[in-house]
Amino acid sequence: MNASPVQALRELEPILRELEQSRSQQVHRFAQITLWSVVVGGLLSLGLALFRAGAWALAPLVLALIVVGIVYASKADEWRKSFKWRVMTRLVKYVNPNMEYHPERYVSEREYELSLLFHNSPTPDRYRGEDLIEGVIQKTDIRLSELHTEYRQVSYDSKGRRQEHWVTIFRGLFISADFHKHFQGVTLVLPDTEQSWLGGFGQWLQSLSAKLGNQPGELVKMEDPEFEKQFKVFSTDQIEARYILTPSLIRRIVDFRNKTRSPIRLSFVASRVFVAVPTAHNHFEPPSLFAPANKLLEPETLAQYFEELRFALAVVDELNLNTRIWTKQ
């Protein structure tokens, strides 16, 4: 990961200038379509109003605004796809030549389910994602993408009318990496909300939850006070959990949690570590279609994408996954 934004900008400049020119042309065409749509729709609405057409007089103007919205969505999507295929695919290679970027793919639902990170949540009714990055960082194979999983919640109002709501289960970066150790059991590291609010009683509730089968195995008490404040650990194998969660790894998890400023979740299943990093930020997106001219040519713009990519791939270094203290059986 030695390439710099300045170096990437120098090498990508012809492509970026071409994209900037294309964006400028799209904005110009959109402005023309908007102007003519509003003028024609407005004149037709005015004419209908003069003939006392009532509420129908607004129909042409409303239709014109719908056309404007559709045209904008189409051009914004075209701009977004062009940027991702022509710029992000190359930037990923600059950050790490062993990684591949697939803008319209994402981590599979099978892998999401295998992680057990959200096993207590409803099965997703809507599973979406984008920006899959996969490959090998030194010795560690890794896959990650943005995911947004939701379930449908149905309710009825006082008059018996059916209402549907979409409830988010997870939205953020979902990471799957090789831990180079085949686990006999399952170990989950989850955000600790009960103990932070309820102290010792919260820890008793966590233990009860495990005994009632709401979590795999048993509650595992760790010795690091800061880790215990931020996380709760459940495992089907207490000895293996302590073998995995060494004092060094525990400190790295705490540091990663503090760096992301996000309630991260981890699980150790089969031979992989899964990490879910909730974030409201939509990563790897281009500047707005209406961004200032030559926005893409500014070093600060590419530096932002470099930072996002390094953040996404940081789990390998932050958790020290390239240090092999075990070998697979």
* pLDDT value at residue 203: 52
Q: Which of 5, 300, 275, 297 is nearest to 140 (CA)?
A: 275
CA gap 23, 13 in Å, rounded: 15
Give Cα 319 to chain centroid, integer Å. Answer: 19
Report how far apart, in Å, the C-alpha atoms of 159 and of each of 153, 156, 164, 165, 166 are: 18, 8, 15, 17, 21
Residue with tokens 């293996």: 240
For residue 65, give the amino acid letter.
L
Which residue ranges of the chain lie beneath pLDDT 50?
1, 197-199, 201-202, 204-206, 208, 210-213, 329
Q: What is the pLDDT of residues 264-276, one digit of tens each?
A: 999 999 889 999 9
Tally of CB atoms within 10 A around 95? 21
pLDDT value of residue 201: 43
With tokens 């270094």, the residue in question is 317
Closest CA to 146 of 125, 167, 131, 168: 131
| Angle (nearest 5°) at CA 207 between 202 and 209 | 90
pLDDT 10s digits, 19-43: 999 999 999 999 999 999 989 988 8
Which pTM does this prediction carry? 0.85
The token pair at 157 is: 């109002």
Give strand pairing partners of 272. 178, 269
| pLDDT on residue 202 | 46
Nearest to 45 by CA among 36, 54, 32: 54
**Of the candidates 227, 231, 116, the residue with the CA atom closest to the CA atom of residue 176:** 116
Predicted confidence at residue 2, as pLDDT, reads: 56
- Model confidence over 283-321: pLDDT tens digits? 999 988 888 878 888 888 888 888 888 888 888 888 877
Structure tokens at 270: 């089969």
CA distances from 108 to 113, 179, 188, 242 (A): 9, 19, 20, 29
Per-residue confidence (pLDDT) for residue 317, from 0 to 100: 82
φ/ψ of 107, rounded to 5, equals -60, 135
